Structure 1
């Protein structure tokens, strides 16, 4: 009888640990922006679900002056990736934590020029989807969103 009671207690303990793990893995945190000028934006820079971080799309905007950088796809790509890097660093991550990117180009003809800059930032080659769409925010040539993961 004593062994059955001990086993029952152990089983209940395991179930409670599993439920706590699931609760932690499914906890959603809408992080506040690290850029005061974006406090009024109707979206979060980054949303955390367990160890996954979903970054909002970034364009080639210099957030210091709130304007797109000049010069076309290459400087815009570089700035968008620097913006992503800043969000990741604020949350204790690097570009190596990125596992998936979605890239939207204003013109698919910019694909090759975009790739030249992109590959400088991602030596680990995260999964990626790239497509073109008409009319990106603020007249941008590129927008990039990412999913990152951090292990504890």
Structure 2
């Protein structure tokens, strides 16, 4: 069974897509950027502040799907600048202590000019 997952505790989709979709026991979450859902603004201008907000947004979507961070089996991470990798990785590691599979690449541009974006695949 396919179910759209949405929560006001994470930023609304800025296009024709869902925050996340559950298919049976799998959750596919769209890339989360560091928008504070309460203000609609980018959370800070450092990789640290933006990564923390991305992690909060991911946790809110997981909660809406009745899942936790420990259910995440794969992440795909996009950085605007690979020189931010060490700082990003430090905060990422505080959230994903169970070390899911991961890809992390630098890209030319991320929506809204942010420094990082993370999408997840979870299984319960």
TM-score category of the 2 structures, normalised to the smaller one: over 0.9
Please say if residues 13 and 19 of structure 2, whose CA atoms lie closer than 8 Å, have aligned partners that are also in contact: no
Deviation at 1:39, TM superposition (A): 7.1
> Which structure dedicates a bigger proportion of its chain to helix?
1
* RMSD, matched Cα: 1.7
TM normalised by structure 1 equals: 0.76
- Of 115, 118, 121 in structure 2, the residue corresponding to residue 144 of structure 1 is 118
Deviation at 1:89, TM superposition (A): 0.8
Could you list the structure 1 runs, at least 4 aligned residues long, displaced by more than 2 angstroms after superposition: 27-31, 36-41
| 1:34 and 2:11 matched | no
Q: Distance in 2 between matches of 1:93 and 1:30?
A: 14
Residue 71 of structure 2 is matched in structure 1 by: 97
TM normalised by structure 2 equals: 0.92
Residue 101 of structure 2 is matched in structure 1 by: 127
Gaps of 5+ in 1: 1-26
| 1:110 and 2:84 matched | yes
Q: Distance in 2 between matches of 1:39 and 1:73?
A: 22
Cα displacement string for residues 35-69 of structure 1 (whole angstroms, at most 9, x for unaligned residues): 29737742111111111100010011111111111
Residue 75 of structure 1 is matched in structure 2 by: 49
How many residue pairs are counted as aligned between the two chains? 123
Q: Distance in 1 between matches of 2:14 and 2:60?
A: 19
Any residues of structure 2 matched to 1:46-57 within 5 Å, and which?
46-57=20-31
Q: Distance in 2 between matches of 1:149 and 1:103?
A: 18
Q: Distance in 1 between matches of 2:33 and 2:109?
A: 12
Q: Distance in 2 between matches of 1:105 and 1:138?
A: 13
